[in-house]
Every structure is written in structure tokens, then in C-alpha cells.
Chain A
């Protein structure tokens, strides 16, 4: 069952169109990420769902209620949304408990619900503190508790982890995921960080040119992106020329089995092949393609190499990700061995 449905959404600021026909469904109980570069309009999409802006054309429905269309508008306070803005935006004049209880009726505020909510986000006993006495991560947790306290139909998160440092971010992200999963919360998360989108969300919708370019589970989006542009936006991508015949693609990295999901190709012809960096190994034998290392970046858990295939200085560099291993000095020769299945699109 879907909890939020957006159809044909258009929004412009003055003469500048931001959203041009967005269609999006958010299934009940799922965490859907809206991923897009800065300025792609993802925050605008979220603010439209929240009701802080009016749309120009299209519809937005939450549950069974049409909340915004050119002829109907439900104000934010009647949409039952839990909104978590970028910087938390706690009310500075209220305590933590005051913030969490802000949207509750007086009776509910006395009934221990606030303490329960704080417990849930790992801040039991913080009720009497003021926002300025909390760290950035704690403030975000309070903002989350405040949004969840009203038992919202959907939680809207606007880059809630962006202002935290990396170590805190990962922990809070995992906690949020766990809290949502346990409560069966429906949530929409806006982010420009593809790593965050892939690791946190059940479904990722990529916003490009004012439209949803693809909406799919993270694995699908990563392994089977709708086009070459998306492939490069979501992670590193090697785009190779290939020839398809009998579910096998011939590329410079040898013959690789085609992903059975790539059905739009027909059975034969010229194709563009996606080979992710981690699908390539450095082989010990002479069977693969020889290449020269042009850069080597070591990350500890893995290492990323750029290599020049063959001895052709004109050829496009190939990115390879390997699990640690010995240091590969720039200029040394390696052998590339690719693993399938690979995804492909018809060549332009």
C-alpha cells in the first residue's frame, strides 16, 4: 500500500522551473530517499509534501487524502507529517521535553509519552535540558523524537545528517533506520549523498532535471541504473563499448555474461556496458587485459586504482577497486580480469 503519492508535480519559482512533472510513490512502512545534486529541487519537493509551498500543477496525496492540487490544499498542521529539518531547528525557548511534547495535547504530555519518545531515540533523562546544552547529534535526535511523537502519517527528513561529522553520522543513520523499522514508520529522506541514500533507504528516487529519473531499491539502482548518466551519478562507473550476442557481451575486458534483467536490448547488437570498479580484479595470470597504473588511492579497507588499458594513451581510463593488497606503484603493469554479470544499454 502506498502512503504518499505524487503525480505530475510542477513547481516554478518565478520564471525558473524547479520541478517539471514529478511522479513518486512512497510505499507504507518504507524509507524512501530522494537523491539529487545541489539545486535539483529535492528540498522543494519535500517542502511541497509538507505543505510549506503550493504546487503549480499535479497532485500530492498522503494516505487517502488529497493534500495539494490546484483546487485543494490541506495546511501543514492538518497533514500529520513529522518534519525533521536540516539543522534540527529545536525551539530554543523550550526544554527538550517541551520540544518533544510541542505537538501533543496537554493530557498526552503528562502521560509519560515524552519520556518514552526520548528513550526511543537514546536520550532518556535529557528532558530538562535546553537545546543549546546538546551536541549537534543529540539535537537531531530530539528533532526526530519531536516529529515521531505526533505519530505522523509520514516523516519527512531534509538532509538531517548533513551537519554532523562523519563518525556521528553513521551511528545516527543506523539508529534512525532501526527506529523506523521497528515502528513501521513511513519516511522520506532528502539527501545529496549517494552513499547515505544507498545505505539507509529501502528505495532510492533520483531527481534529475526536475523529474524522477529512476526509483528503485538501492541494489537495483546501483547494478541496473536506467541509463549511463545515472550509473555515473550513483557510484563510480566504467562505461565500455561492447557487442552483444547470445546473452554474452564482448568487451575489451573479455566476454562477460549479461544481466538477465537487461531485457530492453534485444538479442544482438552494439551496446554500452556498465562494469563497476569492484567487478574487476587484478589477475595473476596472463589471461586478462594488460594495463598501466596511473593513480593509486589507498583507503585501508580497499584501494582504488586508475589504469590505462593496453598501451594506448588515447584509451579511456578504467577504475578498479581492490580489497587492500600490496601497494601498486604508479607506472607498474597489471592484468585486469572482469566478473559478470554486467548491465548494458543500447549504444548511442
Chain B
């Protein structure tokens, strides 16, 4: 439950009229439940694969593989990095969002865009940018710097959205009741944004658990890097054992987020009129804040781009030679096609699950929806191996080595991101509008297309972009599943980078950034818009 969850919570709490009961449909949503269970089953494939492999190896062996010194050092590495980066991202993302949304900081509109754009730069390009320039950007220190700069927008985006939508009247009431600026910020503002902060942190933590490329470049060993090399050397049992520990870690993160979120809900009383509050006066503090913003953008955006350009300029003649150009175009084309198809597939899969989560309450349905987040903490390599295992086993290898498998793999891996986007979009299509449409004689399915999908449209585009963005910058599963003879931007970049041919790798990084910049701009726009639907 990231950004979408909090938006949803806010809208479903209708305030003070005890007359209003929670909207319930007259019938059990059988079709929705069936579709959602089907999606959940597909998403469970990687976990099933792990369990099959583990039981094949024998649980004694697996336990033996888990309880060895290597596991403990991996655990220490993974946990301390996850905690450090998540905390840093929470602080940077929340502070940035507050300054942009609630203060008189100069140039707020420009900052709102600039702070989101780093999302477009693949994590492994950021680490490439730092590491190729300075060798001290290495190990734990390097990993903390690089990952914080690469993923803080995951906190910034939902927090900014929730601050924009939160009821500013609550802050005024708190001030009138005698609580000072700082106390109001801690007790009211942070309280309003709590769900969004937690949701963002959840995404950050899960991304960190599954990250491979950035850590490989920085020489930092986590579960995921070790799992990848175990798989690569065909020690499946060891890889599965480690993967199971990683899944357990993801579960802990999910449970922790659920516990911290608690039962409290953010509610907004009264109609959803968008009242603009006078911004907080920063006064002299605006200068240090501006300096901090500039530094952040410089480090997160400027440095990777500059470094890429530097390496390109360094090797200009070979990079511009004919052969390289053709493969650059080719790779860009493949990247776009694979990413686009995966994004479309994931968005379609997310729709029924999101509809179920937003419109129907119930414990079982909540668990169903939340369980889909588990794949986000699953390394791409596990999903890839699971898919090839099942196609080989049950489909006689049908589809193996084709792009279909890769697209399916992306769709599974990034399903939770699509779910976040679709849920956020469905908030804009309240159930009361469906009821009106049905009272006007429109059957259920037609209402879905004439009202729900139309209203959710911009959000569906955002969901599409979120998955597209992630698929374009995905590395491990792509390396494993890409049809022979084809290259994407990421794999070609990786191949050159691994050979230390930095100047040849650089153009691929740059095109990747450009391809990913468009969807991240769309995303920024989407989260920047106020909710228009009334009632």
C-alpha cells in the first residue's frame, strides 16, 4: 500500500454523517474475485518455484545452506543498507515534499519536476556515474549514497501528493489550539502524511532488497547479488535457500509497514473543495534550503548525466561509428517494445485487484491485495528462473527464449507498481458515480467503460509509465530471458560496462535516461494534479 493506499483511505472516509454507511455492493463481486485470485496465482509462481526447488534439494540441505557464515554476512550487509537508505530517503523525501508543497520556497514548480526526474535514471547508471569517476564510491558508503540518490523520489512522490490533498484546515485548527509550528508539523502534518511516508519507505526497502546492478558495480555484496551469481554458476539449491531468506526479509518489511500504519485513518471532513492555504514563510531559512535542494539535484541528476556525457565525449569517435549507432537504435527499439508490452499487461492485470481493494472491504481481500507486493522483494533472477522452469516443465518449453516470456516476467515483477498506480487512479472514480450511472439505466459492464475507466484514465497512464520505467531499467531478468541475438539498452550497457568500455557504454545509458525521462515526467504530472472528481 503505497501512495494509492493513502489516497484511497482519504476518499473513502466520508466524514461526519453517521447516515452514510460504507458503500457496499448488492452482490458479491464474483467475477472480480475470480480474476484477482487468478492474478494472485500467477504472481505466486516464483514462490512456488522456490519451494519446489528447496524441497527437491531436501530441507536438511537447505537449512544447512542457510545457516552458514556467508548468510550472516549477507544478512548484515543487506539489513544495514536497507535501514540506512530507507531512513535517509524518508527524511529527504518528506522534507523535500513539505518544502515544495507547503512553503514559499522560490521556484517550487521547477523543483517539483527536478526532484522527480532522478527516478528516470537507472540505479546502475547512477552507480556507474559515481564509481567510474571516483573509486572511493565503493562498498557500503558508495551503496548508501548511490541508492539514496536513486530512489528517494519513491518517497517524495506519494508524500507530496498526500500533503497536497490533506486538509489544511487541520493545521490551522492545531495552531489555534495553541500548538506551535514545530509541534503542528510533527503532530498534524506528519500524521497526515504518515501513510504516504510508510508506503514510500515500503517501496524503497523492497527495491533495495531486489537491487542487483548497482551493487555489482559498487562491489557491495547483498543477498540479491549472491543469488544472481549462485544461479549463474548453476548452484540452484544455494540460490533457492538464499532466496527464501530474502523472501522472509520482504515479508518482515511488509508486516512492519502494516504494523506501523496501524488502524488510524486520515479523514477529511466536509466537501473536497480545493482550498489553497497560504504557504509557510521560510524567511532567512530559504537560502540553506535552496542550497540543499540544488545540491540534491546536482548529485542525483547532474552527476550521473554529466558522468555519462563525460565518457561519451571521451570516446567520441568509436561511439559514433556506424555499427554502434545501428545497435543503439535496435536496442532502443527492443527496450521500448518489451517495456511497453509489459506495462500494458501489468496495468490490465492490476485493474481487477485494485477495483476489489478499493471498492470492497474484507480481510481476505486485503490479504489477497497485499500479498501481491511480495514479488517486489523478489529478485528478478528468481522470477526469471521460475518462469523458465514452469514453461519447460508444463508447456514443453513453449515460449522459452522468446520475448513473450521476458514480457510476462516484467509484468509479474512490476505488478505491485502497476497496482499502486491503478489504485491511485480508481480513487478518482468514486463508487457513487457508478451508482448514478446505473440508476440511469446503464448495465454494469458499460458503466465500467463509460465512467470508471474514463475517470481512471490518467491514472492508468501513470501506472503504465511506472511499469514501463522499471522495465526499461531492469537488468537481471533481462540478461537471463532475452531472446538470443537481441539486445536491450540495459543489456548492451551492461556488456560494455562489464568490459570497462565506459565510453561505449555511455550512449546506451544516455538513451536509457531519455527513454525513461518521458514516463517519469508523466508520473510527476499525474501526482501533481489535484483530485477532480467530487463526492
Contact = CB atoms under 8 A, between A and B. Distances in A.
Interface of A: 13, 18, 38-44, 50-54, 73, 75-83, 85-93, 102-103, 131-132, 146-147, 150, 156, 163, 192
Contacts of B433: 89, 91
Contact of B439 (A50, A93, A163, A192): A50
A18 B19 CA distance: 10
A102 B440 contact: yes
B438 A77 contact: yes
Interface of B: 17-21, 23-24, 26-27, 271, 430, 432-433, 435-444, 447, 450-451, 454-455, 457, 532-535
A88 B535 contact: yes
Contact of A51 (B26, B442, B447, B533): B26
A91 B290 CA distance: 41
A79 B443 CA distance: 11
Contacts of B27: 54
Contacts of A75: 26, 438, 443-444
A217 to B, nearest CB: 25
B436 A83 contact: yes
Most buried by A among B27, B432, B443: B432
A146 B440 CA distance: 8
Nearest to A103: B440
A131 B535 CA distance: 12
A131 B18 contact: no
A180 B379 CA distance: 64
A89 B440 contact: no
Given A44-B21, A73-B26, A90 B534 contact: yes
A40 to B, nearest CB: 8
B185 to A, nearest CB: 31
A305 to B, nearest CB: 33
A42 B21 CA distance: 11
- The main secondary structure of chain A at its interface with chain B is loop
A80 B441 contact: yes
Contact of A89 (B19, B432, B447, B532): B432
Contacts of B457: 93
Contacts, number: 100
Contacts of B23: 52
Contacts of A92: 455, 532-534
Contact of B20 (A40, A43, A146): A43
A85 B454 contact: no
Nearest to A16: B21
A82 B271 contact: no
A151 B56 CA distance: 68
B439 A132 contact: no
Contacts of B18: 38-39
15 contacts: A39-B19, A52-B435, A52-B438, A73-B26, A77-B442, A77-B443, A80-B441, A81-B439, A83-B436, A83-B439, A87-B534, A102-B437, A102-B442, A102-B450, A156-B439
Contact of A88 (B440, B532, B534): B534
A77 B441 CA distance: 4
A18 B22 CA distance: 14
Given A89-B535, A163-B271, A150 B441 contact: yes
B24 A89 contact: no
Contacts of A192: 19
A307 B24 CA distance: 50
B441 A78 contact: yes
A85 B26 contact: no
Given A89-B433, A89-B535, A91-B451, A53 B439 contact: no
B271 A87 contact: yes
A270 B278 CA distance: 65
B432 A85 contact: yes
Contacts of A132: 532, 534
Given A93-B455, A102-B442, A85 B21 contact: no
A140 to B, nearest CB: 12
Contacts of B439: 50-51, 76-77, 79, 81-83, 147, 156
Given A85-B432, A103-B440, A150-B441, A54 B534 contact: no
A101 B532 CA distance: 21
A283 B14 CA distance: 51
Contacts of B435: 50, 52, 76, 83, 85
Given A77-B439, A88-B534, A89-B430, 5 more contacts: A38-B19, A78-B441, A83-B439, A85-B432, A89-B432
Contact of B26 (A52, A88, A150): A52
Nearest to A132: B532
A39 B437 CA distance: 26
Contact of A93 (B20, B441, B454): B454
A91 B435 CA distance: 11
**Residue among A92, A132, A156 with the highest chain B CB neighbour number at 10 A:** A92
B270 to A, nearest CB: 10
A89 B534 contact: yes
A150 B26 CA distance: 23
Nearest to B436: A89
Contacts of B437: 91, 102
B269 to A, nearest CB: 13
Contacts of A79: 439
Contact of A53 (B20, B26, B432): B26
A36 to B, nearest CB: 9
